[in-house]
Amino acid sequence: MIVGTAGHIDHGKTTLVKALTGVDADRLPEEKARGITLDLGYAYAPLPDGSVLGFVDVPGHEKLIHNMLAGATGIDFVLLVIAADDGPMPQTREHLELLDLLGLTRGAVALNKIDAVTPQRLAEAQAEVAALLAGTGLAGSPVFPLSARGGEGVAALREHLDAAAAGTARAWVQGRFRLAIDRCFSLAGAGTVVTGTAHSGRVGAGDTVIVSPPGRGEQIRARVRSLHVQDRPAQQGQAGERCALALVGDFEKRDIERGMWVVDPALAIPLRRFQGELRVPAGQGALRHLQTVHVHLGAEDIMGRVAVLDCTEVGAGETALVEILLERDTLALRGDRFVLRDAGAQRSVAGGRVLDIFPPTRHKRSAERLALLAAMRDDDPLPALSLQAAQASAGVDLARFAAAWNLAAAEAEALWSRAGLTLIRDGESRLGFAGASWTALEQRLLDALAREHERATDLVGVERERLRRMTSANLPRAAFDALVGELLAAGRIAQTRAWLHLPDHVASLSAGDRDLFAVLKPLLDAAPFNPPRVRDVFRASGTAEDVVRQLFRRVARAGELYPVAHDHFFTSRAVAELARIVAELNARHGAARAADLRDIIYGDGGGGRKVAIQILEFFDRIGYTRRVRDEHLLRGGATTHAWLDE
């Protein structure tokens, strides 16, 4: 368990930590000379079960609130120190307000310096403490009268802390590793060392981690050479523990600073905006739309602005949904707590938690969007996932969802199952569709085919890529292929060569068109991979050029020709053979290239490159292949059978 101190300057926080642990947390020469804490200090004490209790000692001076907030990141338990002679003071109240905004509810009060007050004053101080805590997250916390210098009452507090540590749950151990850096230094024999509190997951010697966001240049990839956990050498550290990681990699110490994160590579997602919920504390002024603020998130302090989403301004004691716009990159995940202070860093204006690290750029204030943010308030991700899947006709990117909520692999799989999602593999990632959304997509595809058949009765069907755009322009190709596969298997649609259509739809040519095409088709068959263009057919047959053009277009609509390029029609059999050759080139070389295709279909005489390029571009256009620079890769699941069904 990590205990964080809080309280007014000179109320004895550091002295109490030393009484509890035997360690002086003031490490800087200036701190020792002046007798006040200026930066974060750390101390550790063994627990009865063999584990270690960690302390983060924070400065109490009003000008050092940014350091106090950096230290409050990731603590499990608050130790609020109040001097009995002074009672609650300005920084006592400010620290308590900040802790409340951070959502911390476990703690105890050390009523210090009881050896300097009368019994009557002690009773008054206890009443003042009870009044102070009322209405906060620490209301009802136990109060321990003690003397940090004399030792009276310290043992009772230590016993309480030991018991609290034994009951501390490790809710985030199963997620991926995250640590907010609050110190970075060089150590002989170890190299660059970073310290902080692990927010989630586990890390071990030899693990690869990312230091992000990038302070100078790109994100830093590093290896954990060794680590100390709770001030002891260890092979592994986990959520809720203070960790010191010795990192090695292609970087220098100056590239790392307080506020950065050490994370599992899957969580290295720099961002400059996120959406969340916040609350303005009672007694503060209203928070205005686009107000400039200091954003304290993790161990970082970043300037930013607040865009209010569900109202015009947020009054004292009110809550709101907001988008935080940052001046530079940081890292965050759903559930992270943040505090906002005014532009002059003089007072706290609000506090809240992150809900969505992948906010949309449009329709941020729509009823649908606000409903989804409201669902994200639930700590169970199921309501948010179910609603997001219901709203997303193109599916939910499950890898992004798992990263945003920091779900371990097993936890994520269980969630997909609980949500009853239809899962589609899309390369390295997966998409999740709600059952109703998947059914709606099926109906939209069927309706699109019906409309097209009604519009063009002589058209055999719709090319696959065009039908995808007609169904849902932003539907990923992998999801559309799965949708088509299910409908084909169920007999609800049919396929003729490269065209999809309803089972009862038949396109046919008139008798006159059929007779004329029978006369002209041998000209195309004579050179199947470079047939004569419309003007060349006109010259060879004497049939008017426009008559040839309109005929070939009608034959193409019936599915027996393909317009590979302008006025350049290939027979369906020729296209089927070309599709087979392209597939073989992909199997042999990993891709099809114009030069290789030209050599196969025209020989190595040097001609035909332009037509080969047009053929490959045609396959890209209809979705059989996709172009990557000068190569044409067979799309996942693509086969030649669509062109072989004569």
Q: How far is CA 259 from the centre of its chain?
A: 19
460 part of a folded domain? no
404 part of a folded domain? no
**What is the predicted pLDDT for the residue at 217?**
62
When mean pLDDT is compared across 135-149, 215-229, 393-407, 612-626, the lowest value belongs to 215-229
**What is the predicted pLDDT for the residue at 646?**
42
The whole-chain average pLDDT of the chain stands at 88
When mean pLDDT is compared across 89-103, 112-126, 519-533, the lowest value belongs to 89-103
- Residue 306 pLDDT > 50, yes or no? yes
- Specify the residue for token string 């999801």: 479
Of the residues 356, 384, 413, which one is the last residue of a structural domain? 356
**What is the predicted pLDDT for the residue at 509?**
78
CA–CA distance, 478 with 344 (Å, rounded to integer): 51
CA–CA distance, 466 with 171 (Å, rounded to integer): 48
Q: Give per-residue pLDDT as tens, 534-543.
A: 999 999 999 9
> Do 206 and 277 fall within a single domain?
no
Mean pLDDT of 48-72: 72
When mean pLDDT is compared across 294-298, 421-425, 504-508, 622-626, the lowest value belongs to 504-508
Mean pLDDT of 240-247: 90
412 part of a folded domain? no
- Label residue 30 by pLDDT band (50, 70, 90): low
**What is the predicted pLDDT for the residue at 178?**
94
Of the residues 250, 267, 284, which one is the last residue of a structural domain? 267
Q: Which two tokens stand for residue 187?
A: 């150590």
Selected residue with higher pLDDT from 179 and 283: 179
- Specify the residue for token string 């476990």: 106
The top-scoring range by mean pLDDT among 45-49, 509-513, 608-612 is 608-612
Residue (of 431, 434, 446, 444) closest to 478 by Cα position:
431
Percent of residues, the chain, with pLDDT higher than 90: 61
- Label residue 444 by pLDDT band (50, 70, 90): very high
- 359 preceded by cis ω (within 30°)? no
CA 371 to each of CA 313, 381, 383, 536: distance values in angstroms, whole numbers, following the listed order: 19, 14, 11, 62
> Do 245 and 333 fall within a single domain?
no
Q: Tell me, what amino acid is at 349?
A: V
Number of domains comprising the chain: 4
**What is the predicted pLDDT for the residue at 31?**
42
> Do 118 and 253 fall within a single domain?
no
Residue (of 70, 20, 3, 61) closest to 40 by Cα position:
70
The dihedral region occupied by 457, where left means phi > 0, alpha psi between -120 and 50, and beta the remainder, is alpha
> Do 48 and 96 fall within a single domain?
yes
> Do 543 and 604 fall within a single domain?
yes
- Label residue 151 by pLDDT band (50, 70, 90): very high
Strand partners, 143: 109
- Residue 580 pLDDT > 60, yes or no? yes
Residue 513, classed as helix, strand or coil, is helix
> Do 201 and 262 fall within a single domain?
yes
- Residue 295 pLDDT > 70, yes or no? yes
244 part of a folded domain? yes
- Specify the residue for token string 């089972």: 503
**What is the predicted pLDDT for the residue at 546?**
94
Of the residues 356, 381, 409, which one is the last residue of a structural domain? 356
> Do 77 and 15 fall within a single domain?
yes
635 part of a folded domain? yes
**What is the predicted pLDDT for the residue at 23?**
80
Is the CB of residue 203 less than 8 Å from the CB of residue 209? yes
> Do 154 and 224 fall within a single domain?
no
**What is the predicted pLDDT for the residue at 639?**
55
CA–CA distance, 15 with 22 (Å, rounded to integer): 10
The top-scoring range by mean pLDDT among 71-75, 97-101, 413-417 is 413-417
Q: Which two tokens stand for residue 358?
A: 């992948």
621 part of a folded domain? yes
**What is the predicted pLDDT for the residue at 587?**
92
Q: Give per-residue pLDDT as tens, 485-531.
A: 999 999 999 988 778 999 998 877 788 988 999 999 999 999 999 99
- Residue 605 pLDDT > 70, yes or no? no
> Do 7 and 117 fall within a single domain?
yes
**What is the predicted pLDDT for the residue at 446?**
96
When mean pLDDT is compared across 167-171, 541-545, 592-596, the lowest value belongs to 167-171
CA–CA distance, 612 with 410 (Å, rounded to integer): 48
Q: Give per-residue pLDDT as tens, 361-373.
A: 999 999 999 999 9
- Can you spell out the DSSP letters for 249-268? ES--GGG--TT-EEE-GGG-
> Do 323 and 348 fall within a single domain?
yes
The dihedral region occupied by 53, where left means phi > 0, alpha psi between -120 and 50, and beta the remainder, is beta
> What does the DSSP 8-state code read for residue 213?
S
- Residue 74 pLDDT > 80, yes or no? no
Mean pLDDT of 401-418: 94
Residue 487 has a CB neighbour count (10 Å cut-off) of: 18
- Residue 63 pLDDT > 60, yes or no? no
Q: What is the CATH classification number for the domain harbouring 328? A: 2.40.30.10
Q: Say what the pTM is.
A: 0.78
When mean pLDDT is compared across 163-172, 185-194, 208-217, 347-356, the lowest value belongs to 163-172
Q: Which two tokens stand for residue 51?
A: 């584990």
Is the CB of residue 64 less than 8 Å from the CB of residue 40? no
Selected residue with higher pLDDT from 25 and 275: 275
Domain coverage including residue 238 = 178-267
Q: Give per-residue pLDDT as tens, 310-358.
A: 999 999 999 999 999 999 999 999 999 999 999 988 888 999 999 999 9
Q: What is the CATH classification number for the domain harbouring 154? A: 3.40.50.300
Selected residue with higher pLDDT from 217 and 133: 133
CA–CA distance, 381 with 397 (Å, rounded to integer): 14
> Do 136 and 260 fall within a single domain?
no
410 part of a folded domain? no
496 part of a folded domain? no
Residue (of 477, 466, 462) closest to 635 by Cα position:
477
- Label residue 51 by pLDDT band (50, 70, 90): confident
Residue (of 253, 172, 252, 178) closest to 212 by Cα position:
178
Q: What is the CATH classification number for the domain harbouring 600? A: 1.10.10.10
CA 620 to each of CA 371, 427, 612, 613: distance values in angstroms, whole numbers, following the listed order: 40, 18, 13, 11
> Do 285 and 247 fall within a single domain?
no
